[in-house]
Amino acid sequence: MSAGSTAAQHVSLEWDERGGVTVHMDGSPQSHVQPDDPTLLVFEYVQHLALAIDTMPPGPLGVTHVGGAGLTLPRWVEATRPGSPQIVLEPDEALTELVRRDVPLPRRHRIRVRPVDGLTGVRALRDGSADVVVTDAYAGGRVPAELVGTAYAHEVARVLKPTGIALWNLADEPGMRWVARVVATVATSLPHVAVIATHEVLKGRRFGNSVLVASASPLPAEALRRDVARANLPTGLREGAALTRLVAGAKPFDDRGMQSPPPPEAGKWRAR
């Protein structure tokens, strides 16, 4: 692999021999883009986000993304649901400039990037304007506190259509106690919740990502179970009683939230 161009010290692009590019932020891989095939999703958590979106009815979707990075998921939505109006809230203008210059978006897309932070940007959106709200934002390798607080969860619920879904990409240590508190927090505004992750993460074997799915309406549980069972990676779903056990005793965050635990050193993500 060869290093790509750099717009700022904390952002870089790394191209591989297949023509794909990984966006690194603060020294950590943030997202991967395959420009000639936006349906190819490399990172496991992005596959899980896509899996959840696939349970929505066919056709274009209004999607708001909190966090931009390589714009991997917006590209996937555009490829699989052409004409979908999408808003990306990404305050790092250097990152957006670098990605859009070196990894251009497809022609005739409806992806609009706004240079604002997630909480500010979501607050400015209309009630019931989104089919999907995806929160996938990290700073220094950690989810910012304000994106898992009760105030943010309330704003996401306001912006969603009645049958819409909200998704969070979360990262936690074995035991998932921080994730449990996020689930408890989100459930105060969006009571129907589920968690998708690899079996290793759900069983507490390593630090890793999980995707929280939440809605004001009952989730398409059967479709989620089916798609999880078909996932390329060994993937599990926690819902109902299993999720209740996971979050037992978890206290919701206040408006300020709490940032996610710091990631371990590279190569030390396994617990045992």
123 CB burial (10 A radius; 0-12, 13-18, 19+): middle
Q: How many CB atoms lie within 10 A of CB 188?
A: 13
What are the distances in angstroms from CA 234 to CA 18, 198, 203, 227, 228? 25, 6, 12, 12, 8
- Helix runs in the chain, H state only: 44-53, 72-80, 93-102, 118-123, 150-159, 177-186, 199-202, 221-230, 240-246
- Determine phi and psi for 114, rounding to 5 degrees: -115, 130
Secondary structure class of 247 (helix, strand, coil): coil
- Positive or negative CA dihedral for 120, 256, 133, 106? positive
Decide: pTM greater than 0.85: yes
Q: To which H or E segment does residue 55 belong?
A: none
Q: To which H or E segment does residue 94 belong?
A: helix 93-102
Of 134, 42, 131, give the one whose Cα is nearest residue 81: 131
Structure tokens at 51: 């899996």
Q: How many CB atoms lie within 10 A of CB 218?
A: 9
CATH topology for the 2-246 domain: Rossmann fold (3.40.50)
Per-residue pLDDT of the chain (272 residues; tens, 9 = 90+): 333 333 445 777 888 777 787 887 766 777 888 888 889 898 899 999 999 999 999 999 999 999 988 899 999 999 999 999 999 999 888 888 888 888 788 888 889 999 999 999 999 999 999 999 999 998 888 999 999 999 999 999 999 999 999 999 999 999 999 999 999 999 999 999 999 999 999 988 889 999 999 999 999 999 999 999 999 889 999 999 999 998 899 999 999 999 999 988 765 544 43
